[in-house]
Structures are given as structure tokens and as C-alpha cells.
Amino acid sequence: MNKPYIIGVAGGSGSGKTFFLKCFLAHFKPEEVCLVSQDDYYFPVAHGMTPEEIALYNFDLPSTIDNEHFLKDIQKLFNYETVYKQEYTFNNLNAVPKMLEIKPAPIIIVEGLFILHFKEIANLLNMRIFIDTEEQVALQRRLKRDLEERGYSHEDVMYRWHNHVQPAYKEFLLPYKSGCDKVITNNSHVADDIIAITDDISQQLRESVLQNSSR
């Protein structure tokens, strides 16, 4: 059996990774591709902390991620083993986490802020994609998400942006941009731009990876 082809998708907060991945995954059948996200590997810290402590906690550091568990699950998928993982609920104490079932596939997508910083994970990647966005565009997207979806105050969002998000991006992600196979600029709100890019990449993979895996 051919080994899976592993794609790493990295980008800062507000870069549009989620929309890119949605467009990209739409090109494949469920059995052709699987996705494993760094977001589900945060160490649980909410229990025992006050809302004020959670608001000040810096989640934008590599040390907040259970890197060993993340790596082991990627390796399981690489060996065509199914992964079972409890989803991360972003410290929402009222949320009941679901049990995720990630089935192996010929194409594995690994996404997250620190995937290029974690050397053992970075070394597994066959293709590295960097989603690049202007700072002000990314900030507006972050504000929209955190204010509307997560109920944070404007003050909280701005504090995190200047003290956590941007310093982490510049230290743990931006230095790896030049080493990526594809750098995708995502400053517009025009869906057709990203759809066209995912069309091209998915066609390349269908011709090179999926045809070989079916032989």
C-alpha cells in the first residue's frame, strides 16, 4: 500500500485557513482525504481557572499544545490507522465535547499555527502551504469571529491580538514562510479567488497522488 501524502496548511489567526480548507476538501470524497487540526490538541486548562484567568491565559504558544499526542495521531493516520480524539471546546465549560473519528486516507491534511515549528511534524510534510494575509485584514476577521461567535469583548480581543497573537505569529510561524512550497495570499473577501487556487492544487493531487494510490 502506498504511503499517504501529507499536506501541511499553516497560517496565522484570521488568515482564512478554515475557508481555504472548506474549499479544498470539497474537491474530494471522504475516503480520499482526512484532516487533523492542531486546535484539538490544546492541553485542557479551563477547569479550575476563573473566567478572568482564562482571558489572560496565552494560548498562542507552542507549549499549550500536546505536541506528542498530535504527532502520534498523525503517525497513526500515516500507517492507515483510525484516530479517535475528543474535540477541543475552546474552554467553553458549558460545551459537551464530541468524540472525533478521523479515518485514514491517501491524502492527510495537517493544519495549525505551529505545525512548521514542531520539527518532527514538519519533517513528515510532503507539501507545505502558507496562508498569508495582511495584518489589518486578519485582525478584522479575528474581531468578527471572537465578538460574534465566542462572546469576547472588544477589549479582550485587542489585548490578545497585540500581546499573544501577533508576537506568536512573528516568532513561531512567519520565519517558516520562505520554506513553504506554496504561499497563498488571502486578503480579499472574494471566494472565487480561493476556490480557483484549491481547484489547481486538488487537480495536481488527483493526477499525482490519488491515481497512484488506486493502482
- Give the per-residue pLDDT at 147: 86
Mean pLDDT of 142-160: 86
Lateral strand order in the sheet of 33-37? 33-37, 107-111, 5-11, 127-132, 182-185
Average pLDDT over residues 76-84: 97
The correct answer on CATH 3.40.50.300 for the domain covering 5-213 is yes
Least confident of 2-6, 18-22, 49-53, 96-100: 49-53
Please state, for a pLDDT cut of 70, what percent of the chain lies above it.
Answer: 93
**pLDDT, tens only, 126-135:** 999 999 999 9
pLDDT digits (tens, 9 = 90+) for 160-171: 999 999 999 999
Predicted confidence band at 193 (pLDDT cuts at 50, 70, 90)?
A: confident
93-122 average pLDDT score: 92
Q: Where are the beta strands (DSSP E) in the chain?
A: 5-11, 33-37, 83-86, 99-102, 107-111, 127-132, 182-185
pLDDT tens figures, 34-75: 999 999 999 887 667 777 777 788 989 999 999 999 999 999
φ and ψ at 164, to 5 degrees?
-120, -55
Q: What angle do CA 186, 191, 195 make, to 5 degrees?
A: 85
Within 8 A by CB and 6+ apart from 159, the residues are 55
Encoded amino acid at 118, one letter: F
List beta partners, residue 65: 42
Rounded to the nearest integer, the mean pLDDT of the chain is 89
pLDDT of residue 93: 62
Phi, psi of 73 (to 5 degrees): -70, -35
